[in-house]
Amino acid sequence: MIATVLNVDPIKESFVVVVIQPDNLKRMRRADPITLETVGAKTGGGIMPVVKYPESLSILIAYEEDEPALWKICQSNDPVAMMKYLQRGFKFNRDEDGAARAFSLNKGREAEKL
């Protein structure tokens, strides 16, 4: 698994990027979830930097099987290239994607029922 935070100062946005690899997916299928903690977490084992712009946060979760290509692009230290690579197959499908199709435990009618 690859996990990082990109803080983009010119636009004052933070991005959490999580790339799940085949071995991670195998574990997740056995109900063994991935957990991520910030460097300052009380457990002391965190690897994620703290986001600089929590009020403008995006999370990208990707799955990648081509591990050599992924590691090569990560080692280039070019976050823009990494984001483009991970989003290379992105398609927005109005019938399946978007906020109207998302479920939130914290917002709206669904949260009132809990």
pLDDT digits (tens, 9 = 90+) for 62-82: 999 988 888 898 888 888 888
| Residue 52 lies inside a defined structural domain of this protein | yes
Q: What pLDDT does residue 103 have?
A: 67
| Residue 109 lies inside a defined structural domain of this protein | no
Residue 3 class from Cβ within 10 Å (0-12 exposed, 13-18 middle, 19+ buried)?
middle
105 φ, ψ to 5°? -75, -15
**If you search the block for the tokens 């917002």, which residue do you land on?**
107
Check whether 61 has a pLDDT greater than 70: yes
pTM of this structure: 0.74
| Residue 43 lies inside a defined structural domain of this protein | yes
Q: What pLDDT does residue 52 have?
A: 95
- Which among 107, 87, 6 has a CA at the least distance from the CA of 52? 6
| Residue 61 lies inside a defined structural domain of this protein | yes
Q: Which domain holds residue 15?
A: 2-93
| Residue 98 lies inside a defined structural domain of this protein | no
Q: Answer yes or no: are the C-beta atoms of 70 and 81 closer than 8 Å.
A: no
- Domains of the chain: total: 1
Tens of pLDDT, residue by residue over 4-40, are 899 999 999 999 999 999 999 999 999 999 888 888 7
11 φ, ψ to 5°? -110, 5
